Structure 1
Amino acid sequence: MKKQYIFLFLLIIGCCYSCKKYLDVRPKSQIKEEFIFEKEKGFMDALSGVYTLMARRELYGDNLTMSFLDVLAQRYRGERKTSPYYNAINYNYNSDDRGSNKALLPVKTTIRTIWLSSYSAIANANNILSNIEEKKSIFTGNNYNLIKGEALGLRAFLHFDLLRMYGPMISENPSAKAIPYRTLLSREAQPLLPANEVIRLIIDDLLAAEKLLEQDPIVSGAANDNYDFNVANRKFRMNYLAVQATLARVYQYNNQPNEAYAYAKKVIASGKYSFVTSQEVSEDGFCRDRTFRNEQLFALQINNMKKYTDDYFNVNPKTFEGIQLNNDNTVIEALFENSSTDYRRQYLWSSTEGKLISTKYLQLENRAGFCVWPKNVVPVMRVSEVYYIAAECSPDLNESADLINEVLSHRGLDPLIGINSKAALQEALTKEYQKEFFSEGQLFYYYKRNKFNKIPGSNVAANSSVYVLPVPEDELIFNN
């Protein structure tokens, strides 16, 4: 990455105390920005910067996958007041008071950090989009379409997750104010838009991205000299299939089952993925495929995960937060219905001192002569979710059962029988979301979308006070 790009990247992050303050720094970086976008490589570096922001611990490298969102979904122990996660598990969203417990997670600050970090990544995507049209002539091959398509897809993807966290219960109050939808770099504060308007803008961006990415190497197989545009690396980008899978997510969230079903089936029909095999997931140590790499439609490469995942998923954490993420044997055995064949239970957990520790993100040191799968990777979208979306939205219960059973056949399980009603289908899907996406951040969204009165494992009544994270106070001030 060139020095001038690093300068802009650090300037943006260092000044991002609020959306207003972030926007105030743009004139200072104008000369550097113009220099960056003189060449095609500058656009590629800037786009890589968006992924770098998303992969930080503030977002998908930690908070939105393995820790904070899954804490809200009651994935881990933390019911005692001595637990670092006590306030988060009890949905005390306005609490930053640590008292005598210095390891206590500052929930209010964490929520604000997620907001600011997401909009910082969006601002970087918008910076690309605001410069790319006038520089269209500098691009070679299909790179203009790939870069613009990815930037639009990322902008939509980030806004959608913000909506899922900070927006209303969409089926109850679709016109309630939710979040700003930022499409331009501007010093002006942007209004909180109604949720249904945000959804419309997300879909518009995704449809435009889909069109631009039609010749994505992930589907066309076209060769490209750029590392990030090679077929083998497209799963680490907002590629054509990831855009379609995101559309399926969005349409499902917006109670548009026909559209969600259609897009889910498009991804399934592509055949550009394969399910993990029993051999891949059961291999010893270095060779075990713990994140089901060939099922990933979109994943992020995280910098130095080992430092904190070793401590998160350990009995005796040593991180500065002093936080561990584990659960009791009885809880996990009940979750997996005491299965002795489910790959997800059999090969992705380790029992230590009466606790079960997830080994999904175990980062083993490379050794010569051993097969080594990509390290420092967090799945953001996997094909199993697309099957679940298609199953939930299919008008045919028999097809719904077939779609779920297709996933189960690749998890070491026998097919389900008796899915003869919508209630039975929803029960099966709930179990699958609970088993499939451990430490991937998707279960909280599932509970919110389906309006669970209580999140399993919690005694707190689940309503908008639980499912809607508070918009940071300074953002509300700027919008008034």
Structure 2
Amino acid sequence: MTKKYIILLLLIVGSCYSCKKYLDVKPKSQIKEEFLFEKERGFVDALSGVYTLMARRDLYGDKLTMSFLDLLAQRYKAGTKASPYWDAVNYNYEGDVLGIKVKSTIRTIWLSAYTGIANANNILSQMDEKRSVFTGNNYNLIKGEALGLRAFLHFDLLRMFGPMMANNPTAPAIPYRTILSKDAQPLLPANEVLKLIIKDLLEAEALLAKDPIVSGASNDYYDFNVENRKFRMNYLAVQATLARVYQYNNQPAEAYAYAKKVIGSGKFSFVTDADISTTGACRDRTFRNEQLFALQINNMKGYTDDYFNTFSNTYEQTPLNNEDNVIKAVFEESTSSTDIRLLYLWQSTAGKLMNTKYLQFESSPGNCTWAKNVVPVVKVSEMYYIAAECSPDLNESIDFVNEVLSHRAVDPLTGINNKADLQNALTKEYQKEFFSEGQLFYYYKRNSFSTIPGSAVVANSKVYVLPVPEDELIFNK
């Protein structure tokens, strides 16, 4: 990064991306690290600031879930060159004029993710020196979460900006930042980045072994209590991320083992017919009990209404939608469908279908507040798909997929005779399961799809590898 962006990043670490209580202590420009970290509460608040940053629209509150990444995966129709989404769906990564300014969006994602990493590194740099301020198991919880978040953000940066692992795993990818420093860090080979990600995740897993999500232990802090752990980088979320990373790194045995650990934890349940079929504000559109890691988003309604509920002619009020026949083809509908993901998560307007996963409905005070302002980041269904893809036993693989299908009101798989048939079935499931969650583009990249369904563009490294911002490249020379 150029020096001015380093300075900006360091200012952000101490100001606008940290939690509200942190900011309330002193004016933003006057807060000192030693004041923030002199008590355990300061570490808790600083860690909450990382989640607040991740929940912003520049990252998982929008761009890395419901809009930009899913535009790259051809989830939505751009129409004509006049569409604000045209450059994104046509992989014009230098486009910076109309609608979504793709080049600026990519740069903002990069800077925002590394700002989150800098915040995590700032916390980690203080913890051992101040270990005496921690009570109970909180040192382990805070350090485990911070390491897990550092790894998680680096991994998604790698999935966007790194090479296609099947083609060139040793190509320069991204820096792996483990310290808060103004100095440039080199672009490491992708396989080296993955080693560092795995190292951080394994340490996080060990630290989080007594996480309240598995132990049931109570805690004085709201965010560390069982009912709120899915909104944190908890023990199961770390294991799920390890399953993702090992699969991405072509280590199927390890990915299978970790996916099985999460599945066998017994700490989740699938969405019920009653919860998904109810009307209005209480419909469980994001499958809350299937979420291993989710983020609470501030005031989603304004922009999710624009994306998924209205028609207009201005950017960010142009709906993210697709033709009826395209969506129905994804769900393999002929005359009717029983799939709850189609029946209850879509609405049709003027021949176009819009996903309703993130629509925010008004409700009575205290009624179904869980349904609002939440974006799933990791779901347990993905663990079944990873276990299916990585299992050495084809029959077991089929069983894993059928378990998810049984909870989506879909008939079990038939005619699966080999791994190629299974992979085709998994492709269909990824296409159905993760609408507006940003995972499909990564799936296509990991599996080296020569074209992304819905696009006529040849899907090579020019499509799958987002360009590292120019100022980062210049500063690293």
Bigger shift: residues 79-88 or 45-54 = 79-88
Q: 1:135 to 1:405 in 2, by over 3 A?
A: same
Residues in 2 aligned to 1:21 and 1:224: alpha-carbon distance in whole angstroms: 35
The Cα of 1:324 is off from its aligned counterpart by 1.7
Question: What is the number of residues matched between the two proteins?
Answer: 461
The residue type paired with residue 211 of structure 1 is: A
Bigger shift: residues 255-264 or 282-291 = 282-291
SS at match of 2:370: coil
Partner of 1:55: 55
Q: Does 1:292 align with 2:261?
A: no
The Cα of 1:215 is off from its aligned counterpart by 0.1
Q: 1:332 aligns with which of 312, 327, 334?
A: 327
Residues in 1 aligned to 2:116 and 2:475: alpha-carbon distance in whole angstroms: 20
- Equivalent pair of 1:84/1:322 in contact (CA under 8 Å): no
SS at match of 2:142: helix
Partner of 1:227: 222
The Cα of 1:79 is off from its aligned counterpart by 3.7
Q: 1:417 aligns with which of 389, 414, 417?
A: 414
SS at match of 1:184: coil
Residues in 2 aligned to 1:377 and 1:48: alpha-carbon distance in whole angstroms: 16
SS at match of 1:300: strand
Q: 1:427 aligns with which of 420, 424, 429?
A: 424
TM alignment of 1:126-165, pairs within 5 A: 126-165=121-160
Q: 1:231 to 1:17 in 2, by over 3 A?
A: farther
- 1:153-202 alpha-carbon deviations (Å, 9 max, x no partner): 00000000000000001121111000000000111011000001000000
Residues in 1 aligned to 2:220 and 2:266: alpha-carbon distance in whole angstroms: 25
The Cα of 1:45 is off from its aligned counterpart by 0.3
Bigger shift: residues 434-443 or 337-346 = 337-346
Partner of 2:348: 351
The Cα of 1:19 is off from its aligned counterpart by 3.8
Residues in 2 aligned to 1:368 and 1:29: alpha-carbon distance in whole angstroms: 37
Partner of 1:69: 69
Q: 1:402 aligns with which of 399, 404, 410?
A: 399
TM alignment of 1:316-327, pairs within 5 A: 316-317=311-312, 321-327=316-322
Q: Does 1:388 align with 2:385?
A: yes
- Equivalent pair of 1:24/1:187 in contact (CA under 8 Å): no
SS at match of 1:18: helix
The residue type paired with residue 9 of structure 2 is: Y
Residues in 2 aligned to 1:473 and 1:275: alpha-carbon distance in whole angstroms: 44
Partner of 1:179: 174
The Cα of 1:315 is off from its aligned counterpart by 3.7
- 1:283-333 alpha-carbon deviations (Å, 9 max, x no partner): 111221000000000000000000100010024148763432011111111
Bigger shift: residues 353-362 or 199-208 = 353-362
- 1:87-121 alpha-carbon deviations (Å, 9 max, x no partner): 111000011133xxxxx211000000000000000
The Cα of 1:368 is off from its aligned counterpart by 4.8
- Equivalent pair of 1:125/1:151 in contact (CA under 8 Å): yes
Bigger shift: residues 19-28 or 201-210 = 19-28
Unaligned runs of 5+ in 1: 1-14, 99-103
- 1:105-146 alpha-carbon deviations (Å, 9 max, x no partner): 110000000000000000000000000111111111100000
TM-score (norm 1): 0.93
- 1:192-216 alpha-carbon deviations (Å, 9 max, x no partner): 0000100000000000000000000
- Equivalent pair of 1:314/1:326 in contact (CA under 8 Å): no
Partner of 1:115: 110
- Equivalent pair of 2:161/2:173 in contact (CA under 8 Å): yes
Residues in 1 aligned to 2:91 and 2:124: alpha-carbon distance in whole angstroms: 37
The residue type paired with residue 47 of structure 1 is: L
The Cα of 1:343 is off from its aligned counterpart by 0.4
Q: 1:314 to 1:16 in 2, by over 3 A?
A: farther
- Equivalent pair of 1:218/1:231 in contact (CA under 8 Å): yes
SS at match of 1:361: coil
Residues in 1 aligned to 2:177 and 2:380: alpha-carbon distance in whole angstroms: 29
Cα RMSD for the two superposed structures: 1.8
- Equivalent pair of 1:163/1:195 in contact (CA under 8 Å): yes
Residues in 2 aligned to 1:108 and 1:404: alpha-carbon distance in whole angstroms: 38
- 1:367-394 alpha-carbon deviations (Å, 9 max, x no partner): 2585443310000000000000000000
Residues in 2 aligned to 1:308 and 1:399: alpha-carbon distance in whole angstroms: 42
Unaligned runs of 5+ in 2: 15-27
The Cα of 1:356 is off from its aligned counterpart by 0.8
Partner of 2:9: 22
Residues in 2 aligned to 1:70 and 1:26: alpha-carbon distance in whole angstroms: 29
The residue type paired with residue 153 of structure 1 is: G
The Cα of 1:275 is off from its aligned counterpart by 0.2
Residues in 2 aligned to 1:146 and 1:355: alpha-carbon distance in whole angstroms: 46
Q: Does 1:470 align with 2:467?
A: yes
Q: Does 1:454 align with 2:451?
A: yes
Residues in 2 aligned to 1:280 and 1:185: alpha-carbon distance in whole angstroms: 45
Q: Does 1:441 align with 2:438?
A: yes
- Equivalent pair of 1:18/1:474 in contact (CA under 8 Å): no
Q: 1:24 to 1:226 in 2, by over 3 A?
A: closer
- Equivalent pair of 1:64/1:441 in contact (CA under 8 Å): yes
